[in-house]
Structure 1
Amino acid sequence: MSPAKSPLSALLGGHRDPRGLRVLVTGASGTFGRAICARLAALGAHVAGIDLAPSPGDPVEVLACDITDDEAVPAAVARAIASLDGLDVLINNAGVGGPAPAELPPGAEVRRQFDINLLGAWRVTAACLGDLIASRGRVVMLASRMAVMQLPLAAAYGASKRALVAYADALRVEVGTHVSVTCVYPSAVRSPIHDSTAAAGLSLEGMSQYEPLEGVVDTVLGAVLRRRARRDLTTTRRGAVEFFLARHLPAVTDRIIARTLARRARSGAFAGADLASGVVARHSAPPADA
C-alpha cells in the first residue's frame, strides 16, 4: 500500500514543492502582487517584493524601488536577493495602464507605460539574471491579453505588453539553457489600473469581459510551480480562445473589435472624451457613398 499523501502534496499534484523557493515579485503592493505574494508565502515559499510605494499591510517584506531608475533597481534587487539568500523565481508583475489613442502623438503617458511595463521589467530581470542562472531559475512575465489582441484607445499598454513578450522571447533564446521564461496573459481584472482610463472617459467596459483575480493568481502559481515550465499561459478558457484567434486568425479579432468599437462610439459611450473625439467623429460621419 502506498503511503498517504500529505494535504500539501495532494494540492500540488505534479507541481514542484514551493516550500523554500526564493521568489522576488515586482509591483508587490498592487492588486495582483499582494495576492501573489500572500499565496506563495502561505505555501511556504520565501518571498520578497519591490514596489514604488510599499504598503503597511503587505503580506511579505516589500522594498521601496522605482523600477524606472537605472541606479535604484540593481541596489534594491541586491538587497532583496540578499534577504532571500539567493533567487529561484522572478515574477515581473509591475505594470501600469492609461489612456493612449494610437492616432495621437506619444507623450508623457506613453513613455511612462513603456518605461514601467517594458523597461522596468528589463532592468529588474537583468539585475536578477546572475542569481537565476546560478539556481537554474525561472522568470514569469505578467503580460496581457492585449499583448496579442489590441483594444482601442489604449495603444501604449498593448504595445508595451507586446514588447514585453518580445523581450521574453529574446531572453528565452539567450538564457534558456539555464533559466526558463513564461508569459502569462490575463484579460481584464477589476483593479485601480483602469482608473485613469475611466477618468479620461475611455472606459472599455463594453469591450472586455472581466475575470476573477483568483484565476490570474492560480495561473501565476502554476507558472512558478509546474515541474516543466510552459512558454505561454492564458488565465481562462475564454482567454485561451482569444489567444488562439489573435495568433492564428488576427483579421477575425480585428473585425470583432472594430465592430464593438463602432457600436460603443455611436452609443455615446465616449461622449465628452477629448481623446476619443477622432473615433467618435469618424463613426458619426455618414457613409462615403451617402
Structure 2
Amino acid sequence: MTVLNRRQDPRGRRVLITGASGTIGRALGTRLTAAGAHVLGLDLRPTGDEPFPVLRCDVTDDDSVRGAVAEALETLGGLDVLVNNAGTGGPAPAERAPGTEVRRQLEINLLGTWRTTAACVDALVAARGRVVMVTSRMAVMQLPLAAAYGASKRAMVAYADALRLELGTHVGVTCVYPSAVRSPIHDSTRAAGLSLEGMSVYEPLDGVLDAIGKAAFSTRPHRDVTTTRKGAVEFFLARHLPALTDRIVARTLAARAAAGAFDGAPLAAGVVARNRGNGGTE
C-alpha cells in the first residue's frame, strides 16, 4: 500500500479518527485497518457498518468528547496517531453578519478539533505520537461565499502551529491541505445556489488518503503536506504571492458571476451586482 512506502509500518499503531463515518474518515479507517493498524473512530452519526469500531461523539460538546476519548483510549490502550478529520462546510458570505451557520462551522472545525486534541494530549505525549490536522486548501487560499469554512480552517492551522510549539519535543503535528473531494459536505452550499464548481477542482480521494498516511507515518514529521501537484503549486503561490492568487480568484469569480452561475441565489446577490456593475473584469 502507498501508506507503507518509506514510512513507519502502521501495523499495530493505535489510530483515532474523528469524522470517521464520513467520506474521508471512513476510507482512511478502512485503509489503515487493512494495513494492520488498530483503528477507532469518532462520529456524531456512526452508520454501524464501518469496517472498524466507531463511537458516537459530538465534538461540539465537552462532556461527549471527554467521555468518547476516554473510552477510545482505554479500548486502544493508548494512542499513536490522532487524525482530526471531523469538519463541516456551508454557505457563509463574508459581507453578511455571522449567524448560526458561521458559529456552527467554527464550533465543529476549530473548537471541535481543539477539544478532541486536548483530550488526547497526555496519551500522545506518552507515546511520542502524531497529530494530523485535515485542514483545507482554503486555509491558505480563500474562496468567496464560504468565509466561515476558510476562516475556521485557517484558524485550525494556527491552532496546529501553537500545538507544535508546545508539544513538538514529544509530538509531531502536521497539517494536510486537500482541495475539494466529492462528498456530502458540499450539499448545503450547492442547495443555496453557491456551488463553486468551476472555481475549485475535485481531486481523487486516494491522494488525500496518501497525504494523511504520509503525515501520520513518515519517519520524521512534516509540518505541511499537500495532496496533489496542483495543490502544492497553489499552496506555494498563496503563501508567497498572495496578491496574485487574490487576482486569479477574483477574476474567476467575476467570470462565474457573469455566466449566471449565482443567479437566483440571494446570498450571492451582492457579489453578482458588484461584478456586473464593474463589467465583470475584476
Q: TM-score range by the shorter chain?
A: over 0.9
CA distance in structure 1 between the aligned counterparts of 2:196 and 2:277, rounded to whole angstroms: 22
Q: In structure 2, give the amino acid aligned to 1:192.
A: P
**TM-fit CA distance, 1:272:** 0.5
Q: In structure 2, give the amino acid aligned to 1:20.
A: G
SS in 1 for 2:214: helix
**TM-fit CA distance, 1:209:** 1.0
Structure 2 vs 1, CA of residues 11 and 24 (structure 1 numbering), >3 Å: closer, same or farther? closer
Structure 2 vs 1, CA of residues 231 and 11 (structure 1 numbering), >3 Å: closer, same or farther? closer
1:115 is aligned to 2:107? yes
TM-score, scaled to structure 1: 0.94
Q: CA deviation digits over 1:206-233, x for unaligned, max 9?
A: 1011101111011111111111110000
1:95 is aligned to 2:80? no
**TM-fit CA distance, 1:285:** 1.5
CA distance in structure 1 between the aligned counterparts of 2:109 and 2:161, rounded to whole angstroms: 16
Give 1:5's aligned residue: none
Spell out the pairing of 1:4-15 with structure 2 (5 A cutoff): 12-15=4-7
The answer to whether the Cα contact below 8 Å between 2:135 and 2:176 also exists between their aligned partners in 1 is yes
SS in 1 for 2:62: coil
SS in 1 for 2:264: coil
1:140 is aligned to 2:143? no
SS in 2 for 1:47: strand
1:31 is aligned to 2:5? no
1:61 is aligned to 2:53? yes
Give 2:268's aligned residue: 276
1:127 is aligned to 2:119? yes
Deviating above 4 A after TM superposition, structure 1's stretches of 4 or more consecutive aligned residues are: none
1:175 is aligned to 2:167? yes
CA RMSD of aligned residues (A): 1.1
Q: In structure 1, give the amino acid aligned to 2:203.
A: E
Give 2:207's aligned residue: 215
Q: Whose radius of gyration is greater, 1 or 2?
A: 1
Structure 2 vs 1, CA of residues 227 and 285 (structure 1 numbering), >3 Å: closer, same or farther? same
Q: 1:191 aligns with which of 183, 186, 191?
A: 183
CA distance in structure 2 between the aligned counterparts of 1:24 and 1:242, rounded to whole angstroms: 30
SS in 2 for 1:206: coil
Judge which range, 278-287 or 57-66, deviates more: 278-287
How many residue pairs match? The answer is 279
Q: 1:237 aligns with which of 229, 233, 253?
A: 229
Give 2:156's aligned residue: 164
CA distance in structure 1 between the aligned counterparts of 2:122 and 2:105, rounded to whole angstroms: 27
Q: In structure 2, give the amino acid aligned to 1:277.
A: A
Q: In structure 2, give the amino acid aligned to 1:88.
A: D
The answer to whether the Cα contact below 8 Å between 2:3 and 2:214 also exists between their aligned partners in 1 is no
Q: In structure 2, give the amino acid aligned to 1:254.
A: D
CA distance in structure 1 between the aligned counterparts of 2:91 and 2:100, rounded to whole angstroms: 11
Any stretches of 5+ residues in structure 1 without a counterpart?
1-7
Give 1:3's aligned residue: none
CA distance in structure 2 between the aligned counterparts of 1:13 and 1:23, rounded to whole angstroms: 18
**TM-fit CA distance, 1:266:** 1.0
**TM-fit CA distance, 1:12:** 2.6
CA distance in structure 1 between the aligned counterparts of 2:30 and 2:213, rounded to whole angstroms: 11
Give 1:49's aligned residue: 41
**TM-fit CA distance, 1:88:** 0.5
Structure 2 vs 1, CA of residues 202 and 29 (structure 1 numbering), >3 Å: closer, same or farther? same
Any stretches of 5+ residues in structure 2 without a counterpart?
none
Q: In structure 2, give the amino acid aligned to 1:44.
A: G
**TM-fit CA distance, 1:71:** 1.2
CA distance in structure 1 between the aligned counterparts of 2:49 and 2:80, rounded to whole angstroms: 25
Structure 2 vs 1, CA of residues 135 and 103 (structure 1 numbering), >3 Å: closer, same or farther? same
SS in 2 for 1:121: helix
**TM-fit CA distance, 1:14:** 2.2
The answer to whether the Cα contact below 8 Å between 2:193 and 2:262 also exists between their aligned partners in 1 is yes
**TM-fit CA distance, 1:286:** 4.8
